[in-house]
């Protein structure tokens, strides 16, 4: 079993990284995330949603289009990612009043406390050398009964498994994206490690499941 190796840098804030990430096809993973979210929510995730680590905001924009009463605060620490999200919003002007882009780092102290019906996050956890920050932010931001969905990569068992996943899902990707994916797999947490994080944060009511050959998901509602 390979040990976790933190990524060389936590933020994807170089323009070439952001552009490569935005140009890549993450439709399969994004569709899985939205499927898990709507299933966990039994339909509508709520009127006020916080997305941590939104990247170029593909998921917030899809959710805002699907749920016309939803308002989303989409947070990312990389301005280069939010610039791409802002560009995407230029093509969807009707969504601008309901999608707010926020450049901030966890724990996002400027966000309102206990205000959100749902907190979501896709592919942020493995970037964090201190994963307690995401769970602290979720605890502080959510209303009682709020929905939580955090999906991320899960660290494979061996280097050979990492190589197999990179070859399967990023063989034709630009070099920068292929290397980022490889780094991310080594930096990802395992199901048992995330369960320990939740226990330490007082969030044992949330469950952790393997949801694909490379993803885990944390889901449930805040007590």
pLDDT of 14 reads 66
Nearest-angstrom CA–CA distance, 168 and 156: 14
Per-residue pLDDT at 109: 87
Q: Are strands 48-52 and 116-122 parallel, antiparallel or unpaired?
A: parallel
Integer Cα distance of 4 and 179 in angstroms: 16
Residue 142 confidence (pLDDT):
97
How far apart (Å, rounded) are the C-alpha atoms in residues 60 and 197?
26
- Residues lower than pLDDT 50 in the chain: none
In order of their start, the domains of the chain are: 15-221 (3.40.50.150)
pLDDT at site 117: 98
């Amino acid at each position: 079993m390979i040990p976790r190796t933190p990524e060389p840098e936590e933020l994807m804030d170089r323009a070439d990284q952001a552009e490569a990430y935005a140009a890549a096809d993450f439709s399969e993973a994004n569709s899985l995330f939205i499927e898990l979210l709507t299933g966990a929510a039994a339909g509508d995730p709520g009127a006020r949603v916080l997305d941590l680590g939104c990247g170029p905001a593909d998921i917030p924009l899809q959710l805002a289009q699907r749920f016309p009463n939803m308002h989303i605060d989409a947070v990312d620490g990389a301005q280069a990612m939010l610039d791409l999200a802002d560009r995407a919003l230029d093509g969807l002007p009707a969504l601008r009043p309901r999608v707010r882009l926020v450049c901030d780092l966890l724990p996002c102290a400027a966000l309102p406390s206990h205000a959100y019906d749902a907190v979501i996050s896709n592919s942020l956890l493995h970037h964090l050398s201190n994963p307690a920050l995401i769970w602290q932010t979720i605890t502080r931001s959510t209303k009682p009964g709020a929905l939580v969905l955090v999906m991320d990569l899960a660290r494979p068992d061996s280097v050979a498994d990492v190589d197999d996943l990179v070859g399967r899902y990023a063989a034709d990707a630009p070099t920068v994206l292929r290397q980022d994916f490889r780094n991310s797999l080594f930096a990802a947490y395992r199901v048992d490690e995330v369960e320990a994080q939740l226990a330490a944060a007082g969030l044992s009511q949330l469950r952790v499941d393997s949801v694909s050959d490379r993803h885990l998901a944390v889901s449930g509602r805040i007590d």
